[in-house]
Amino acid sequence: MRLYDVTVEYQKEPIGIDVCPRFSWKLESQEENTYQKSYEISVAKEGKSVWSSGRVENGQSLFVTYEGSALEAFSHYDVNICVWDNHGNAAETTTFFETGLMSEDNWEGVWITTKEELPAVKTFSKEVCLQKGKKLRQARIYASALGVYDLEIDGKKMGDAYLAPGWTSYGNRVQYQTYDVTDELQEKSLVSLVVGNGWYAGYLNGEGEHHLYGKKTACIAMIRITYEDGSVDVMGTDASWLVSENAIRSSEIYMGETLDLTLPLSDHYAGDTQAVLLERSAFPKRLISQEAEPIRITKRFPVVQKILTPKGELVFDFGQNMAGLVEVELPPLSLLTGAKKEIRITHGEALDKDGNFYNENYRTARSEDVYCYGEGDVGKKAMPHFTYHGFRYICVEGVDSSVDPKYFTACAMHSDMHKAGTMTTSNRLVNRLIQNIEWGQRSNFFDIPTDCPQRDERLGWTGDAMIFSKTAMQNFNTGLFFKKWLRDVAVESDAKTGIPQIVPNVVKGSMGTSIWSDCATVIPWNLYMTYGDTGVLADQYDNMRLWVDWIFGQCQGEVLWMHGFQRGDWLALDSDESLHLMSGGTDKNLVANVFYAYSTKIVCDTAHILGKEEDAKIYDGRYQAIADAILREYVTASGRLVSETQTACALLLYFDLVAGAKKERIIQTLEQNLKQHKNKLTTGFVGTAYLCHALSENGLHDLAAELLLNEDYPGWLYAVKMGATTIWERWNSVLPDGTFDTSGMNSLNHYTYGSIGDWLYRKVAGITPTSAGYATFDIRPYLTKGLEEVEAALETMYGSIRVHTVCKDGQIQVEVKVPVNTTATLYLPEKEDALVLGSGQYHYVYETNTVLIAGRYNMNTKFRDMVEDPAAKAILDAALPGMLDGPMASFILNQSPNEMLAYDAGKKEMFEQIIGQLNQSV
C-alpha cells in the first residue's frame, strides 16, 4: 500500500499558513477492495511532539483536523502519518507545514505609502544587512500591498507569483504572501516592493472608474531572519523606507504597461524620497495569509504564424486564446523602425473576416504594452508586471516585418490550481471542445472567477461562476480558489441587499438576483460534494442562509418570488428578437423560483450535515412550499408549462420539480420544442447547463448527443469549426461569414457555455458522486451516438477514478479504476444489474448490436455539403429528381434534411433512408 499526495489544507508542504490545518491523504494498493481501517497522525516541532492523534479506528482520510496544542507563529511543524488497511498492510509518510503570522499582532512593519498620489508605479526599498559573524539559517519575507506588487531583492523578482496580493474585498481582507528568501539575502541586500495600481487604484469596469478602493497605493512587509544560533532579526516597513521611480512608466490592468528602460532614472522620484505612513482610515480590516493558489505562468506558447494582414499590420498568432502576457526578448535595435526606439504590442482574440487584426470587442481596454529600450537591453527578456490581457494574436508596431517571431512568447497565466479531470473521445471536434472548456477556465480563474479576460470588465460575475462551478471542479481542484472567493462573497453580502452580482463588488448598491446570487449556496454545496469538505459548508452556512432568507423577505408574505430584478436565462436565443432582450424567452420568475427552491433545499441539506436540525426543519418546510407553489403557478393539471421553452422544461426536469404524468408531458414538450427548432438549442446561460442532463435522464440521450455533435449554429461545435480555442460568450459571437456580434458585449473567452463539461463527465463518461468527495460514486456511461470511444480520468481527493468505454465492432468494453477507500456502483451499458465495486481495476467485454458510428452525413448536414461528393450527389439526384437543380435549388442547398422537415414533416423517413445510403456510399 502506498500513502501519497498528503496535503495540509489542500496544499503540499505549505509555508505561511495561519489556520488550524487539516490533513488529507490518498492511498494506492495492489489489492482489490482496499479501505483504510485506521490512521495515526503525529505532529512535532523541533523534535518535540505537539500532537498525536493516537491510532484512530476509522476510514477518514480527508480533512483530519489538527487537535494539538496551540500552534506558534513562524514555526516549522513535522507531520508523520501512518495508515493501516483492511488487509493488514501499513503505510507511512511524512510532510510538514510552516505557520505564518498566525495573528495580526505579530506584524512588525506598518503600511507605507507616498506623500502625494502618483500616477505611475513606485518602488519602496530598504537596505537589509545580515549580522556579521552569524550564520543564516532561514529568512522569510511577509509582504502585501494595496495595489499589486512584486517583491525584489537586489532587483531580482522573488517567487513565481504574479499580481500579488491578488484581488479580495480590499476594505475587508487583504492577503499577505510568504517568501522563502534564505538563499537570496546577501550580507547587504536591497529589499524592494514595486507597487502598481492594479485592481486597487486602477481602472475597473470601464474607463471611467478608477480609485475604487483608494487613491494611493501602499505596501507592507516584514523581514524575519533566523540565525543558526537561534537569534532572530525582524524588521518591517516604516517611514525610513525610500521611494523611487522605476522603468515602469504606467501600468493598468485594462490598458497595459509602458516600460522605458532608457530613462536616466534618478534614484528617487521628484517628490519626497521618504515613504510616509498610511493613514489608519485606509487600512484594510484584516491582513490574512494567502488563501488560494497564486497566479502563475503555467504554459508558454511560441508564435505559430506570422501574418502580414491586408491592412499591412504585423500580427503574430500564438494558436491559443488565453489570459496572460507576452514575453519579449528585446530584438536588435536595427530591427526597430520608428524614430523612438520602441515596440508597441496590442492584443486581440481574433482576426476579422478580411484577415485584419481585430480587438474592437475590448471596448475601452487598450491592452497595449510598450517597450522602449537601448543597446544595452538588447537580448534581455522583458514582460509587463502589473497588467494582463486576454489574447491569441498580437499586433506589433515599431519593428521591421522581417523580425523573427522567436522574440515573442505568449505566457498563459491563471490561478495555479491542480489539474483534476482529463477526457478524450473518438471525436476530434469534441476533444477540441473539451480543450476549449479547459482554456475558458484557465483564462478566467484569475485569482477570482472573472467573466472574461480581455474587455474592460474582467469582473467576478457571480452567476457565471455559479453556472460553471461543477465543470470547473471536474477540470481542476478548485477547493482553495473558491473557498477564498466565497469568503469575499460572504463579506460583501448583507441582509439589506442580499448577495452581490459581482464579487469583489465594484458596483455598490446593486441588489441580489437569481442565478448570480445563488453562487452563495450552490458553489459551497458543489465544493462539499466534490471534495468532501464539510468545513466549507460550516464556513459559508450563515451566508447560504442569508441568501434564502433574503429572498424569503422579498416575497413579502407570498411563497414565490415574483418581484424584483431578474436576468433570466441570460443571452438565450428564444426571446422576441425585436425586443433585443438579453434575458431570453423563459419566464424570468420561473427561473428565479426554481433556483429559490434549489437554494433552499441546499440550505436544508447543509443544516442536516452541520447538525442544525431546527434549521433543517424550517428550510425543509419552505422548500416543500416553494416546490408546490411552482407547480401551482407554472404547470397546468395536464402538464402544460406556462413558459414552454427548452430552459423551462430542462429546469423542472433536472431539479425534480415534476413527477408522474406531468413529467411525461414536459418531456414531450421538450422534445417537441427541440424538433420545432430543428433539434438545435435555444438556451442561454442557465438552460444550457441543464438541458443535456434533462434529456439524458429522461430517455432522450440521443437527442442530447445530437445537440452536442451539431456542427451548425447554434451549438458548441459550431464555434469549434469556426476555429474557436476557447468558449464564446454568445452562440453567435462570430457569424458564419466571419463577422462579429456587434452588441458591444462580445467576448470570445467566456466560460459559461462550457458548463456542458459537467454533462460530458457525468453522462458521457458517466462519473457522478453519490456522496461527498466521491467516497461513493456511480459509473454510468451513456452510449453516445458519434462517440465510439470515451476515456475520462478524474483526480478526486481519494485518488484517480478512471472510466474507459469503447463500443464498436459489435463489442462493448468498459475499463474502470476505483480508488482505495471508495465504492463505485457500475451500471454497464445495456446491462440490467448494477455492480458494486470496491477499489481496484476492472475490465468488462461483451457483445452488442449497437453501432455508434455517426455517418459522415446526418439529418443536420446541409445539402450543399452533401453534393460536394459526386457519389452522394448521384444518390440525391436519383432519390429527389430535379430538387437540387430546380428553381429552389439555391434555397434547398442551404438547408439540411432536418430543416426541410419544417416544410414537410412527412419526408422524415425518406430523408433518413437517403442519409443511410449516402453514409454507405462513402
For β-strands 342-348 and 173-180, DSSP reports them as: unpaired
Q: Burial level of 298, CB count in 10 A (0-12/13-18/19+)? A: middle
Active-site residue, 108 included: no
The residue among 484, 416, 532, 451 whose CA lies nearest residue 775 is 532
280 versus 580: smaller Cβ distance to ligand BGC? 580
Give the nearest distance from C-beta 571 to ligand BGC in angstroms.
Answer: 8
Cell triple for residue 205? 469596469
Query: Does residue 23 contact residue 29 with C-beta atoms inside 8 Å?
Result: no
Q: Are 119 and 270 in contact (CB under 8 A)?
A: no
Q: What is the dihedral of CA 720, 726, 732, 738, to 10 degrees?
A: -70
Closest distance of CB 742 from ligand BGC, Å = 15
Q: Which is nearer to ligand BGC, 301 or 446 (CB)?
A: 446
What is the nearest approach in angstroms of ligand BGC to the Cβ of residue 451? 4
If phi over 0 gives left and psi between -120 and 50 gives alpha, with beta otherwise, what is residue 798? Answer: alpha
Report d(CA 566, CA 686) in Å as an integer.
12
Q: What is the dihedral of CA 572, 576, 581, 585, to 10 degrees?
A: -40
Write down the least CB distance from residue 457 to ligand BGC, Å. Answer: 6
Determine the Cα–Cα distance for residues 141 and 222; give it in Å rounded to an integer.
6
Of the pair 217, 454, the CB lying nearest ligand BGC is at 454
Cβ 503 to ligand BGC shortest distance, Å: 12
Q: Give the Cα separation of 920 and 686 in Å (integer).
A: 40
- What's the min distance (Å) between Cβ of 206 and ligand BGC? 11
What span, in angstroms and rounded, lies between the C-alpha atoms of 701 and 684?
20
Find the Cα–Cα–Cα–Cα dihedral 824, 481, 70, 54, rounded to 10°.
10
Q: Which long-range contacts (CB under 8 A, 24 or more apart) does 898-905 make?
A: 898/678, 898/679, 898/859, 898/860, 899/678, 901/678, 902/678
Q: Which is nearer to ligand BGC, 217 or 583 (CB)?
A: 583
CA 583 → CA 217, 361, 378, 683, distances in Å? 39, 21, 53, 10
Nearer to ligand BGC, 140 or 455 (CB): 455
Query: Which residues make up the interface to ligand BGC (CB under 6 A)?
Result: 451-452, 457, 461, 463-464, 567, 570, 745, 750
Least distance between ligand BGC and beta carbon 305 (Å)? 29
Q: Tell which residue, 141, 116, 250, 263, has the closest CA to residue 191.
A: 141
Side-chain half-sphere CA neighbours of 302 within 13 A? 5
- State in angstroms the smallest separation of the CB of 363 from ligand BGC: 10
Name the catalytic one among 9, 98, 245, 457: 457
Q: Is 729 a catalytic residue?
A: yes
Tell me the three cell numbers of residue 634. Answer: 407554472
Query: Which member of 152, 252, 293, 729 is catalytic?
Result: 729
Nearer to ligand BGC, 121 or 571 (CB): 571
Smallest CA-to-CA distance from 296 within 169, 417, 384 is with 417
Name which of 746, 753, 806, 802 is nearest 774 in CA terms. Answer: 802
Q: Which is nearer to ligand BGC, 567 or 678 (CB)?
A: 567
Minimum CB distance to ligand BGC smaller for 392 or for 567: 567
Dihedral angle over CA of 221, 222, 227, 231, nearest 10: 170
Least Cβ distance, residue 745 to ligand BGC (angstroms): 5
Residue for grid cell 489542500:
10
Give the nearer residue to ligand BGC in terms of CB position, either 142 or 740. Answer: 740
Catalytic residues: 457, 729
